[in-house]
Amino acid sequence: MTLSLVDDAARAASSTRPGGAERRGRMNARRRGTRAAPPLSVGAGLGLGAAVIWMTVLVLLPLAAVVAEAAAGGWSEAVRVLTQPQTAAAIRLTLVQAALVTVIDVVMGTAIAWVLVRDRFWGRRLIDVIIDIPFALPTVVAGLVLLALYGPQGPTPVDVANTRVAVTFALAFVTLPFVVRAVQPVLETLDRDVEDAARSLGADGLTVFGRIVLPALAPAIATGAALAFARGVAEYGSLVLISGNLAMRTEVASVRILGYIEGGDLAAAAVVATVLLAVSLAVTLLLGAIGRVGGRRG
């Protein structure tokens, strides 16, 4: 549902390419593979059963428990938790920061993907590696390294520790790869002739980007943005050290949940958790739908 949208967008975009026979053959093979899929044999049925039980025990039951715990207190309790000033401030900060970082990611992520695909210079491979670091680096280490540079003891005059800017920095770090990695493969498969055609018809560089390239990238950008936003809303580890977790100022929703858990108020934690679940689910579905509609045209 989440990352698979990247593949969908890439697939949708590449299918608008002038189809070589080889590519079409491959797509047929894919369709054949799924359409002619046989029903379950006994062994496969047992495997499916085991997988479903495992998923239920590990994922579905616990997530259901969160929603159940939140619902147990009823509406009034939920409203009371969510209107409590510190909690409301934490949720607001989370949404605003996630949205802000998503905008940054859309602009910078598209620019980075563009440079990676279209620019040729020494060190481009290195940039490709740097993009993946936030995916692989432990989140708490991400917070630590940002603090090392932009904290009170860092080598720069910038000191953002314990401010909202620190939250923006940390979220920009951990969400960096999403838009880049969604846009990059689509940009790679774009037919350069299409841009040349637009130029020969009288379009300048900006017009070509706005009217030809951007519409082709839009589904992928939307997909990457959805993933970045969902991640931003959910983020915890990278914020712990750098944001200071100051109530009403730099405390995000996940930190608030942890506060409730440590205070023993699991019901209140579950209410905030349910809100986070709902938000990331809604945004993922919404932007995913935009991506798919955009991808289907053409």
Partner 1 sequence: MLRLVVIAYLVLLVAWPVSLVFTGALSDGLGPVIDTFTDPLVLRALRLTAVAVLWAVVLNTVFGVGVALLLVRRSFPGRRLLAALVDLPLAVSPVVVGLALVLVYGSRNGWLGAPLAQAGVQIVFSTPGIVLATTFIAMPLVLREVVPVLEEVGTDQEQAARSLGAGPWATFRRITLPAIRWGVVYGMVLCLARAIGEFGAVKVVSGNLIGQTQTATLSVEELYMNFDRQGAFAVAAALSSVSIVVIIIVGLLRTRMEKRRGS
Partner 2 sequence: MSIEIRNITKTFGDFVALDDVSVGIRPGSLTALLGPSGGGKSTLLRIVAGLETADSGAVAIDGVDATRLPPQRRGVGFVFQHYAAFPHMTVARNVAFGLDIRHRPKDEVRARVEELLRLVHLEQFADRMPGQLSGGQRQRMALARALAVEPAVLLLDEPFGALDAKVRKELRDWLRRLHDQVHVTTVFVTHDQEEALEVADEIVVVSNGRVEQVGSPDDLYDSPASEFVMSFLGPVTMLGGRLVRPHDVELLGIAVVGSVAGVVEGVQRVGNEARIQVGVPGAPSVAAVLTRAALRDLDVRVGDTVWLRLAKGATSMAATPASSPDDAARGAGSVLTGAVSAPR
Scanning residues 148 to 187, which ones bind partner 1 (CB under 8 A)?
148-150, 153-155, 169, 172-173, 176
* 198 part of the interface to partner 2, by CB under 8 A: yes
> Contact 103/200 with Cβ under 8 angstroms?
no
Structure tokens at 7: 């593949």
Residue 194 binds partner 2, judged by CB under 8 A: yes
Residue 87 and residue 268: Cα distance in Å, rounded? 10
* Nearest C-alpha neighbor of 166 from the set 184, 189, 148, 185: 148
DSSP helix/strand/coil, 73:
coil
Which one among 7, 128, 132, 196 touches partner 2, defined by CB under 8 A? 196
Q: Between 19 and 197, whose beta carbon lies closer to partner 1?
A: 19
Looking at the Cβ atoms of 130 and 197, the one nearer to partner 1 is 130
Using CB under 8 A, pick the residue from 34, 41, 200, 264 that binds partner 2.
200
Q: How far apart, in Å, are the Cα atoms of 81 and each of 97, 128, 249?
A: 21, 44, 18
- Residues near 133 by beta carbon (within 8 Å), at least 6 away in sequence: none
- In the region spanning residues 116 to 155, those forming contacts with partner 1, defined by CB under 8 A, are 119, 121, 127-141, 144-146, 148-150, 153-155
Which position among 18, 20, 21, 39 is part of the footprint of partner 1 (CB under 8 A)?
39
**Distance in angstroms (rounded) separating the CA atoms of residues 233 and 96:** 9
Cβ closest to partner 1, residue 222 vs residue 269: 269
**Residue 196 CB, nearest approach to partner 2 (Å):** 5
Is 19 a binding residue for partner 1 by CB under 8 A? The answer is no
Which partner from the list partner 2, partner 1, none does 287 bind, CB cut-off 5 to 8 Å by kind? none
Q: Specify the DSSP class assigned to residue 185.
A: H
